Amino acid sequence: KQEVTQIPAALSVPEGENLVLNCSFTDSAIYNLQWFRQDPGKGLTSLLLIQSSQREQTSGRLNASLDKSSGRSTLYIAASQPGDSATYLCAVRGNYGQNFVFGPGTRLSVLP
Amino acid sequence: GAGVSQSPRYKVAKRGQDVALRCDPISGHVSLFWYQQALGQGPEFLTYFQNEAQLDKSGLPSDRFFAERPEGSVSTLKIQRTQQEDSAVYLCASSWRQETQYFGPGTRLLVL
């Protein structure tokens, strides 16, 4: 059974810092991996989707990498801003199912 | 275009009541998913539809949970004889085949 963990559970940084969020998964037979953002009381917003054949994806200040063999993904946020404050969720989709398995999330606070 | 919508946004139920949660997916999306998110946790998969066919219901926690999508668009998640442990946010997501999943804002259910 696929298990997804995320480190750290919470992170507080001053505005302007670059930061890295980590995601690990136990079964490397994945179809894709997706990073989401969740604001309090809101649904999930897709940030980046990485297919299993890809190594990384970039969107603006966000860069996500995937190392399928080691079961790891990182989300890099450059020049963090207070508006980046949210919970960041990593989710993996296996080769044999349609649904995502989510990690517990990293709660990020960017202080002005 | 319009995103995934869910109703009601909030529901308070007395223990033992039946509840029905509605999801309107993005028009044309073939796949529809239901997830349950407990406080401080990542979403957990409940069930998956492809058009009107329920292809995976392995995540439904008990036979009190029932989902349907009779015409391949709107879906309803029904919980019978609600229990306090059913209190959670219920998220619906839709996608065009195997692409990015788009999430609705969720229904926050509180069982007293």
Summarised one tens digit per residue, pLDDT across range A92-104 is 998 877 789 999 9
Which positions ≥6 away from B63 have C-beta within 8 Å? none
Question: Which chain A residues are Cβ-neighbours of B56 within 8 angstroms?
Answer: 97-99
Interchain proximity A44–B91, CB inside 8 Å: yes
| Average pLDDT of every residue of chain B | 94
Interchain proximity B100–A46, CB inside 8 Å: yes
pLDDT for B91 beyond 90:
yes
| pLDDT of A23 | 98
Q: Is A91 on the interface with B (CB under 8 A)?
A: yes
Torsion, CA B82, CA B92, CA A101, CA A32, rounded to 10: 170
Interchain proximity A49–B100, CB inside 8 Å: yes
pLDDT for B103 beyond 90:
yes
| pLDDT of B74 | 97
User: Least CB-CB distance to B31: which of A46, A98, A105?
Assistant: A98
Distance from CA of B44 to the nearest CA of A (A): 7
Summarised one tens digit per residue, pLDDT across range B50-62 is 999 999 999 999 9
Write out the two tokens for A102. Answer: 């989510």
pLDDT band at A107 (very low <50, low <70, confident <90, very high): very high
Interchain proximity B45–A49, CB inside 8 Å: no
Q: What percent of chain B has pLDDT over 90?
A: 91
Assign 3-class secondary structure to chain A: CCCEEEECCEEEEECCCCEEEEEEECCCCEEEEEEEEECCCCCEEEEEEEECCCCEEEECCEEEEEEHHHCEEEEEECCCCHHHCEEEEEEEEECCCCCEEECCCEEEEEEC
Instruction: Give burial (CB, 10 Å; 0-12/13-18/19+) of B47.
Output: buried
